[in-house]
Structure 1
Amino acid sequence: MISLDDVRKAAAVIAPHVVRTPLLPFGSGWLKPESLQPIGAFKLRGALNALARLENRSRGVVAYSSGNHAQAVAFAARLHGVPAAIVMPSNTPAVKIEATKALGAEVFIVGITERVERAQVLVAERGSALIPPFDHPDVIAGQGTIGLEILEDLPGVEAVVVPMSGGGLISGVATAVKALSPGTRVIGAEPALAADIAASLRAGSLVRWDPLQRAQTAADALRDEPSELTWSHISKLVDDVITVSEDEIFAAMSDLARRARLVAEPSGAVAVAAQSKLGGGVAIVSGGNVDPELLREVLANG
């Protein structure tokens, strides 16, 4: 497991390149709008830390991602002047694919269950370094810097609500929060259609859901499953999980746009939907890379 020291070191590494996002009042709680990062999502933190710590990146980097990690790695690779090859599943929103290409990355589109295998082939063929989306200590430590910032701005906050999928974000945030403020509750938020971590916590061990089942949620950035590394953090540090329906996710997107003037993708609104059930705390708005047509529909129906 990573430590608070790992998170603090990551904060120093990434500080010149990320936005220190503010806490914004929202209803009875607060928002941490990571949607305001240069690539529109929190993933930039972990990618920057991981790439900066690579001993050898001369042959470039490879990543697999449903979209936000793809953009984060492409951004970090461009910053360091190295090539990036990104494997993305075929159900990735077009807005995320085009944004990744615009950052200079080479993009490979594959079936939704094939991205890890294809990335491993590219690593073997090119001798590149792999930067996974969550299953890496340096990635987790980078995401944990969000927890540091929350507690700097709001010491002793009652709860921090974090969207969960692969678990890198909540692993890092929980590490920082529990080390600095043990009484603060760390609450995971999941779409009900991809609530495998909630099921795992109830069972006391990892429960695997079919990828096609998880793919039913509109929260495309939350269709992954935790690794053994992230599960080791989640099982020890997360206090509870709140699951939310698709309608609740869309309602949170509409509320964010109308009341907070923030654009959020479905995945970015999941913690806010959970926060409304909790009745307070800080909700992490993890990303804002929403398909424009989906956003139009949400606002029209909201």
Structure 2
Amino acid sequence: MIGYRYFRHNGFLWRKHLGALLPLSMPHRNPELRQPQATALLAKHFAFLIRWETDFDSETPTEWWHIIKSDPEELQDLSANTRSKIRRGERQFLVEPVTREVILQEGHEVYCKAYQRYDTFEPMMAKPDFVRAVLDLPTETEFFAVRDRSSGRMVAFSENLVRDGACFYLSIWLTPDALKRYASYALIHHMNRYYLNLRGLAYVSDGARNISHETGIHDFLIERFGFRRAYARLHIAYFPLLTPVIHALFPFRRRISQSRGRIGRKITVLLEQEAIRRTFQMHRDTETVIG
């Protein structure tokens, strides 16, 4: 996530990603957008869609969710296997909150090594670009670092956004060697304890459902650390000229999903997201008929 563009509007934090405006403020907050306000934001920021949620943490399962943990982090509540890996990670690594200055000085080497693990079309940032991107992060951004106990070298760090009484784990950068030695177990356990137990935040989040690909980290957090799905209602507003295009392409989304090209994949994500949005329209229509 380092290097994203963001802006503030009426006390709400947004980021722009691949032409879409997505909320950075925590999902339990409602930006209370109406179509005129949404269209104005799209025009101002040259974006083609804006997405947000309402009815966060609903008891009714839906097709849209965030992965969160709201219960305290207690070691005894985790499985024996997870406890073992946390302890093995703690024996080898020191985990602690650090300042932005520490990330500026030592984070780029970790970022470069971790970058090699990702399949992405975005270019790896050179040191000057990395420094500029870290400096440009919102003031509410906090960091955790993982250091090798024997050498003192940083081997991982996490970028966390703390707003609205909750914390969003925006990105975690782990070198391949540290990942093999259970640094991720130690890092997540310590961050959960820090934000949930020590600071008493309402929840920590690893973000919303990922449509473009299966997100292994979400399954990992649910299975190992007691995270859960917090269901919500998805809202999308399109730039006016895009709306008829979405309606025209939607019936062909299955055929488009078979495309192997980059443009085809992007359109597939767009249409799958629209399909999720339409499930809420169907529910509302059903409720109206029943009522």
> What's the TM-score, normalizing by structure 1?
0.27
Higher relative contact order (CA 8 A, sep 6+): 2
> What's the TM-score, normalizing by structure 2?
0.28
Larger Rg: 2
